[in-house]
Amino acid sequence: MRIMAFNGSPRKQKWNTVTLLENALKGAKSVGAKTELVQLYDLRFSGCISCFSCKKLSRKEDGVCAVQDDLTPVLDRVKEADALIIGSPIYYGCESASTRAFLERLLFPYNKYAKDRRSLFPRRINTAMIYTMGAPEEIAKEIGFDRMTIMTKMAMENHFGACEVLLSTDTLQFSDYDEYESEAFDKEAKIKRHAEVFPEDCRRAFELGVRMASSRVPDPESMLRSE
């Protein structure tokens, strides 16, 4: 079982998104999976450039993005993966820019423009999205950040297989609130939450990783794709 995780935060070590991803991979490893963590912000790549090479009738292979950049070998490895876990901070109510670019390149080559619309990805695999955000859960819900995640979940499910979503809310933004403009936040409450609730989010991520590595997603009769 090969599990690939992707960190869509530019903060590559110790911060919220990467910590949750590392916990998910620890969970996957604990049940024998081989794991890989790809730091999206270490790679130079673009989003989809709408060249439609992946839709050409004369294409030699399905599900291949024609753009050649640092993402090319990563997308090749996805073809062999048994589960994908994508982590992103919420930036302006969406995934981070690199996560969005990655999702476009990951998903669009598997979009089939034929009548049956099945995904061109040949297998059903487990997937998960892990989101971190500064807003408290109630505010995130009120604004609709949690609804935003539904579109990505749908696209992942249509192409790959069941997609779990884990939200970690009200995250710690800085290590020292006194060094930054932060009147808008209750520093003590943030620090307390990070000490008391974030470890629970890490535990949930660990368990998500165990699930990703231990169960197979059934192949549904018909998987419509979304774009």
Binding site residues, ligand FMN, CB under 6 A: 9, 11, 15-18, 89-93, 132-135, 171, 173
- Least separation, in Å, of the C-beta of 15 and ligand FMN? 3
Min dist. Cβ of residue 87 to ligand FMN (A): 8
Question: C-beta of 142: minimal distance to ligand FMN in Å?
Answer: 11
H or E element, residue 176: none
Cα–Cα distance, 132 to 87 (Å, whole number):
8
- Counting DSSP H helices and E strands in the chain, the numbers are 7, 6
**Least distance from ligand FMN to the Cβ atom of residue 161, Å:** 25
Distance, CA of 191 to CA of 171 (rounded, Å): 9
Q: Which residues of 88-100 are buried (b: 16+ CB within 10 A; e: fewer)?
A: bbbbeebbbbbbb
Query: CB-based burial of residue 2 (10 Å sphere; 0-12 exposed, 13-18 middle, 19+ buried)?
Result: middle
